[in-house]
Amino acid sequence: MSFRILPLLLLPSLALSASAPAPELISPQVKACVDKAVAWLLKQQQPAGHFSEQKSSQQPRAGDIPSHSAAMTSLALMGLASVGHLPGNRTPESEAANRGLKFITDHVEPDENGYLGRSDRSRMYGHGIMTLMLVEMLGMSPDEATDRKVRDMAEKGIRLILRAQQTPKSEANRGGWRYEPSSSDSDISVSVWQLMALRAAKNSGIEVPREAIDNAVAYIKRSYRAERDSNGQLKQLEAAFSYEPYGGRQTFSTTSAGLLSLQVAGQYDAPEVLGSSNWLLKFPPEVNEPWFFYGCYYYAQGMYQRGGDHAATARQKTEQMLVAAQNPEGAWFPRNGNEKSAGPVYATSLALLSLSVYHHFLPIYQK
């Protein structure tokens, strides 16, 4: 599971409405943690507008940008937006978000099919992340020219996702996505990104066929590893999602991704949702696990959607882990496996998204 560096994740229309519910009480400790993370992220923004801990004064050319720079910048933009820092406002944080958005619109060159993941070599992982971010930013740009670019890239990105889903595949892999638009297999990490982008697009008014979302949901459900009876009914009260349908590793990160994506698609009472959230009560994340930051984001958001004891347990666990793991400057650093090579911008952006549950700035996560 990698970009091989960036795995799963996501969000639709980031409109910060006055009717959004008042957030639950956020502890001073968590607020300080978030504020330090935002300040650290802003220090990682390069003159060209992208976010990277690798300092560079070089101005990239359109279509020739650092590896994964657009995907990482999109994650940073979603992390900032999740705690209220949107492009177009007159604050240092919002101005930084605007520069990051313009880096995407000015330097990412989609191919003739609208594929965004080729420019920075982030493949379909990056395509899903960028498309999701662009859909979330619709109407948020400080000027009409940028907003038109955002809409054009977002709409073409969605069409690419829909075309890629139609690639001929086996029944087990049908409805999902993998590393390239033409991939004939699927996995849950890539597929969740695309499903979230489709749901965000549909919420924002972009045309998305119901069948595309239904097929993606069916694919995610085929990755749920519970025994079934002769009528197809689940025989277990708790089980995990695996990396690939009918096989592959079963981890808290793949399980959390399946849990959140099904709820975002409206499957709140699906047995796979009930069973995976119960499984996560027994097998919660630990900070040294592979793909911790990616999985923690889905865990925090997915369990919040479940509500009740699931939400309360996940909130306490998430806040304890992330507050303890943050370095004095405000960043988080991945500790394990391929995720370690993704770096602190990746981890810090996902940590912000994990801690943003109760801010309610992202409508796709509102109940």
Domain that holds residue 135: 28-54+62-365
Tell me, yes or no, whether 132 lies in a domain: yes
Tell me, yes or no, whether 214 lies in a domain: yes
Are 141 and 81 contacting, i.e. CB atoms less than 8 angstroms apart? no
Q: Which residue has the higher pLDDT, 327 or 61?
A: 327
- Amino acid 146: pLDDT: 92
Burial letters 337-366, b for 16+ CB under 10 A, else e:
ebbeebbbbbbbbbbbbbbbbbbbbbbbbe
Q: Is 287's pLDDT higher than 90?
A: yes
Going by the DSSP 8-state scheme, the letter that residue 5 receives in this structure is: S
Q: Is 3's pLDDT higher than 50?
A: no
The CATH number for 49's domain is 1.50.10.20
Q: Is 134's pLDDT higher than 70?
A: yes
Task: Dig out the tokens for 12 from the structure.
Answer: 């639709």
Q: Which residue has the higher pLDDT, 212 or 232?
A: 212
Residues 6+ apart with CB under 8 A from 197: 10, 128, 131, 132, 135, 157, 158, 161
- The upper half-sphere exposure of residue 327, i.e. CA atoms within 13 Å in the direction of its Cβ, equals 13
For every residue of 193-249, which 3-state class applies, written as one string? HHHHHHHHHHHHCCCCCHHHHHHHHHHHHHCECCCECCCCCECCCCCCEEEECCEEE
Are 44 and 52 contacting, i.e. CB atoms less than 8 angstroms apart? yes
Tell me, yes or no, whether 13 lies in a domain: no
- Cα–Cα distance between 339 and 248 in angstroms, integer? 18
Tell me, yes or no, whether 16 lies in a domain: no
- Cα–Cα distance between 157 and 117 in angstroms, integer? 10
Tell me, yes or no, whether 14 lies in a domain: no
Cα-Cα end-to-end distance for the chain: 30
Are 299 and 229 contacting, i.e. CB atoms less than 8 angstroms apart? no
Tell me, yes or no, whether 225 lies in a domain: yes
- The upper half-sphere exposure of residue 258, i.e. CA atoms within 13 Å in the direction of its Cβ, equals 34
- Amino acid 234: pLDDT: 73
User: Maximum CA pair distance of the chain?
Assistant: 63
Residues 6+ apart with CB under 8 A from 260: 10, 192, 298, 301, 302, 305
Tell me, yes or no, whether 130 lies in a domain: yes
- Cα–Cα distance between 236 and 222 in angstroms, integer? 15
Question: Tokens 């009560």 correspond to what residue?
Answer: 281
- pTM of the entire predicted model: 0.91
CA distances, 139 to each of 105, 126, 257 (Å):
14, 22, 28
- Amino acid 24: pLDDT: 59
Count other C-beta atoms under 10 Å from residue 285's C-beta: 25
| Apex 83 CA angle, 80 and 89, nearest 5 | 65
Number of structural domains (the chain) is 1
Q: What is the mean pLDDT of residues 60-68?
A: 84
Count other C-beta atoms under 10 Å from residue 18's C-beta: 4
Confidence of residue 358 (pLDDT cuts 50, 70, 90): low
Tell me, yes or no, whether 294 lies in a domain: yes
- Cα–Cα distance between 344 and 364 in angstroms, integer? 26
